[in-house]
Copies of this chain bind each other. A is one copy, B any other.
């Protein structure tokens, strides 16, 4: 999670703890268990420092809760904070919750300010307060400030580790100051210096390279880029994503309503937040309503979160199958329909999913907007018709192979799919635009909604067509 481009202290040698463990006939996590059980903190620190990064989350996840707690109490807080950076926020918070507030505070103290806020946001209010009280007062104040913003706005994503100087200082003053604080600043992102004026207002930025090339006696105000780009603390993640999409900076300063400099949001922090949000959305689209589930969580929590999607989903499934229930008389006289109802519905659902994904991609790329609904519908009707014809012919052929003795049924299956392909593909294309228009997330709600509509249409079409095209059914209710 730390994005500071400082050199990594890890040696380039080929020695790694995993390799050494395997040489002893142990998996890395088994070696880790043994070292924890031995209680030797020095060996544990050495082992963790040599563990290759990819083995860190896996090995920690293999430990039981008791060993995990002991591990984080045995090592120094700086190493613990480093390990936490290899875990997702929800996982790291689960580990933090298992520790005493003192031990937790010491670890959180060592994290970057934006990571502190992320982890604290995952905890219960009581746990977060208990940890804040044990933290270094200045760091706790920063974390509280960052935590007062929602996690997905600029205020919640910014770091407070950056360099800022008054506009009246000379280049020489600044370089002396940087030299004097070289140790403290070593973890900072230093590509830009931020320049402030009266009352801490942001008035300019200086690129490090310009500082390097400027005369030592120049005043910052004369070498800075004036009217710098900035974001407000309340700007959303989407605002920030758009900003970094359209500007090539690695970081952007954050100001309050009075233009006072509050912090800096790094491009990498925005990309990480977007990745986490995409992850949550994918989980939600797949029916994990909270967007987060780990198998290390209690079974009943996991079960409950999944039921929150499955129970309302019953209504959708019942809605579409009620069409069949209503026409059960037709099935009674032509049981073969029971084979082809799920077949036509399944293929229609697959066709709809394709046009949903194209619309979501074009919305994301900014190529279409809700006002293009008619144009998109027209383009999808054509593709839906062509594919409906091809797949409809194949399904009719399949129906003929399965049940050639029922005259009219292959035609009904083929025509039902052909017509429903147009319906399903067109709906798949336009429903995401409608959801965007309503300011809902197209990725989340399109799938189940279009699938239900496509099911209803396919059940209805096949039953109605069979009633008219299959002689054995003519006149059926």
Give Cα A211 to B279, complex, Å: 40
Which of A135-143, A327-335, A464-472 is near enough to bind chain B? A327-335
- B12/A357 in contact, CB under 8 A: no
- B299/A395 in contact, CB under 8 A: no
Give Cα A335 to B333, complex, Å: 9
- B248/A6 in contact, CB under 8 A: yes
Give Cα A432 to B345, complex, Å: 26
Neighbour of A324 across the interface among B209, B287, B338, CB < 8 A: B338
Neighbour of A58 across the interface among B299, B335, B369, B398, CB < 8 A: B369
- B5/A249 in contact, CB under 8 A: yes
| A387 surroundings in chain B (CB, below 8 A) | 303, 306-307, 310
Which of A40-48, A150-158, A313-321 is near enough to bind chain B? A313-321
- A295/B7 in contact, CB under 8 A: no
Task: Please encode chain A, from 213 to 228, with 1 for each CB lying within 8 Å of some chain B CB and 0 for all others.
Answer: 1000000000001011
- A114 interface residue (CB < 8 Å to B): no
Which of A64-72, A73-81, A254-262, A376-384 is near enough to bind chain B? A376-384
Copies in the complex: 2
Neighbour of A313 across the interface among B192, B213, B347, CB < 8 A: B347
Which of A17-25, A100-108, A115-123, A348-356 is near enough to bind chain B? A348-356
Which of A30-38, A126-134, A359-367, A434-442 is near enough to bind chain B? A359-367
- A242 interface residue (CB < 8 Å to B): yes
- B354/A225 in contact, CB under 8 A: no
Given the interface pairs A314-B394, A342-B455, the reply to whether A383 lies near B353 with Cβ below 8 Å is no
Neighbour of A347 across the interface among B56, B182, B314, B325, CB < 8 A: B314
- A26 interface residue (CB < 8 Å to B): no
**How near does chain B come to A183, taking the closest CB pair, in angstroms?**
12
**How near does chain B come to A260, taking the closest CB pair, in angstroms?**
17
Give Cα A263 to B287, complex, Å: 44
Given the interface pairs A175-B212, A248-B2, A395-B314, the reply to whether A341 lies near B343 with Cβ below 8 Å is no
**How near does chain B come to A417, taking the closest CB pair, in angstroms?**
10
Given the interface pairs A61-B368, A208-B212, A335-B328, the reply to whether A310 lies near B191 with Cβ below 8 Å is no
Give Cα A353 to B293, complex, Å: 13
- A400 interface residue (CB < 8 Å to B): no
- B351/A306 in contact, CB under 8 A: yes
Task: Please encode chain A, from 1 to 19, with 1 for each CB lying within 8 Å of some chain B CB and 0 for all others.
Answer: 0111111100110000000
- A321/B343 in contact, CB under 8 A: yes
Give Cα A178 to B208, complex, Å: 13
**How near does chain B come to A457, taking the closest CB pair, in angstroms?**
14
| A318 surroundings in chain B (CB, below 8 A) | 343, 398
- A390 interface residue (CB < 8 Å to B): yes
- B249/A8 in contact, CB under 8 A: yes
- A335/B331 in contact, CB under 8 A: yes
Task: Please encode chain A, from 383 to 418, with 1 for each CB lying within 8 Å of some chain B CB and 0 for all others.
Answer: 100110011001100100011000000000000000
Query: Which among A2, A331, A342 has the greatest number of chain B C-beta atoms within 10 A?
Result: A342
Neighbour of A356 across the interface among B91, B286, B337, B403, CB < 8 A: B286
4 smallest A-B Cβ distances: which pairs?
A53-B246, A286-B357, A338-B338, A332-B335
In the complex, 27 of the A-B residue pairs with CB atoms within 8 angstroms, ordered by the A residue number, are A3-B248, A7-B229, A8-B247, A8-B248, A11-B227, A175-B212, A178-B212, A182-B213, A283-B357, A286-B357, A287-B353, A295-B368, A295-B376, A295-B379, A303-B387, A306-B387, A307-B387, A311-B390, A314-B347, A314-B395, A314-B398, A320-B346, A321-B346, A324-B342, A328-B335, A331-B331, A342-B455
Starting from the known contacts A12-B229, A293-B358, 18 additional A-B residue pairs (CB-CB under 8 Å) come to A5-B207, A5-B251, A54-B366, A211-B212, A250-B268, A287-B351, A287-B353, A288-B358, A295-B376, A303-B383, A314-B347, A314-B394, A320-B346, A321-B339, A324-B342, A325-B336, A332-B335, A341-B342
